[in-house]
Amino acid sequence: MENLQGVRHILCVASGKGGVGKSTTSVNLAVALSRLGARVGLLDADIYGPSQPLMLGVPAGTRPRLVDKKFMEPVAAHGIVSNSIGYLVEPQTAMAWRAPMIVGAFNQMLKDTLWGELDYLIVDMPPGTGDIQLSLAQQVPVTGAVIVTTPQDVALLDARKGMEMFRKVQVPLLGVIENMATHVCSRCGHEEAIFGTGGGETLSRDFGTELLGSLPLELAIREHTDKGTPIVQAQPEGAIARAYLALAARLRDKVQTQEAAASKAPAIHITDD
């Protein structure tokens, strides 16, 4: 896997179900890590529903440049590089593929992209616990997984399944991100936990990991994402951007702590004595 040799850390951003804001979190997390000085790549692994080209504001029709008729140069936008099946097919194309074709496409984008030297490759996973999750865990050394959930019980139930899957394939759980935790009324300023409270904290505690951060249900996040300018880029000094930056810093520190612990592991030497 020559094209991954320059990638220091592969981080999965996953969710047990769709609709919890996993892709929005992935792109803002990637841009936030870049703003903190890291070299960041973003792989859109949701073959059925790729959304990163839109969220990154990449012009329609943009294709990765082909090198040696095989390798793809990732597309640069907002300080990061990315690849997605959305760059390779028309937006209206329905990916009516069976599992082996989906896994094959994912593996090709992962391994045949010229990622170069990266501190982090963020993999925006498809929702659930399917073939792509297993393929990634089995084929490349994954630094860890971040689970995105909303606080309500239905989302938490599915998030537990995702976390259990990563634990079974021995991918470390780096933490939980609780999305849409509260909503502040733009007219009166009243703050309300629409989807409940405490779910992310309970989930992280049950799995022996930590709550990396809570993010609000905020109209501006959706508006800027739809316009192709993640809010970390669009409003870099705003409160929401600061929340993403703090979350990215905690994730960076968690990865560095894990890396330091691994380097201190005792070496076992076998001799004939």
| Block mean pLDDT (10 aa), the chain, length 273 | 91 91 96 98 93 95 93 97 93 79 92 97 90 85 94 89 91 94 81 83 92 92 95 95 96 93 65 56
- Quick one: which H or E segment has residue 77? strand 75-77
Q: Which amino acid, 75?
A: V
pTM of the model: 0.92
Give residue limits of the domains in the chain.
7-261
**Residue 158 vs residues 16, 88, 151: alpha-carbon distances, Å:** 4, 31, 11
Nearest one of 152, 201, 43, 150 to 107, comparing CA atoms? 43
CB 225 within 8 A of CB 24: yes
**Residue 7 vs residues 29, 37, 49, 214: alpha-carbon distances, Å:** 17, 15, 25, 28
**Residue 48 vs residues 4, 89, 95, 168, 248: alpha-carbon distances, Å:** 24, 11, 6, 25, 27
What CATH number has the domain spanning 7-261? 3.40.50.300
User: What's the pLDDT at 175?
Assistant: 96
User: What's the pLDDT at 260?
Assistant: 86
What φ, ψ does residue 237 adopt, rounded to 5°?
-100, 0
User: What's the pLDDT at 268?
Assistant: 57
